[in-house]
Amino acid sequence: MLLGSSKAELDRLLGKPVMARNVFGLPGEKAFSYSQGDFRIVVGFLNSLARYAAVVRDRGPNTKLTPAEIAGALALNAPPRLWNIETPDAPKKSSKPPRRKTATPPSPTTYFSYVEKSPKKTNLGTSEIHGWMPGTEPYAFFYLPHLDGQSPLLVSEWGVQQALG
């Protein structure tokens, strides 16, 4: 699992990173970017443990990630089949037609959640990872909102979008 790991563990797994822009600007936050083919994986560390990751397509179409690319991004933390994936319905059409047609219809954000089950207590999770992929942007973002012994992480989709550009 990528999130919750130390930088040394991720360096062994993903290679040598470069410094990246912090997404949240929190005290003690350090972000690093790992190059992986047409993608970069921006990982943010708080108190030396990975608390968030963004998988960003740097080369290729400037569109949302494909299902195969999403499966690869999800697999960084858990097998894709174990994730809950939700895509809200597209907004209903209004009764009056718009004055001009948009080039492409809006695409809703897709949300992801994964709960790692406790081996001892069947109804409790030991950790949760949440994330999303904006409908038209070439990235997916994942974060670990709670980690024992660390401050909770409250995330704003808008703030992440601004930081990732």
DSSP string, 35-67: EETTEEEEEEEETTEEEEEEEEE-SS-SSPPPH
For the chain, how many structural domains are there in total? 1
Q: Judge whether 64 lies within some domain.
A: yes
- What average pLDDT does range 12-35 have in this prediction? 95
Q: Judge whether 1 lies within some domain.
A: no
Return the biggest CA–CA distance within the chain. Answer: 59
CB atoms within 10 A of CB 68: 9
- What average pLDDT does range 11-35 have in this prediction? 95
Q: Judge whether 95 lies within some domain.
A: no
Using pLDDT thresholds of 50, 70 and 90, give the confidence band for residue 94: low
Q: Is the pLDDT of residue 125 over 60?
A: no
Q: Judge whether 34 lies within some domain.
A: yes
Q: Is the pLDDT of residue 29 over 60?
A: yes
Q: Judge whether 114 lies within some domain.
A: yes
Q: Is the pLDDT of residue 101 over 80?
A: no
Q: Judge whether 98 lies within some domain.
A: no
* Dihedral sign, Cα of residue 122, residue 151, residue 3, residue 86: positive
Q: Judge whether 96 lies within some domain.
A: no
pLDDT higher at 86 or 96? 86
Residue 12, SS3 per DSSP: helix
What is the domain extent for residue 19?
Answer: 7-90+104-164
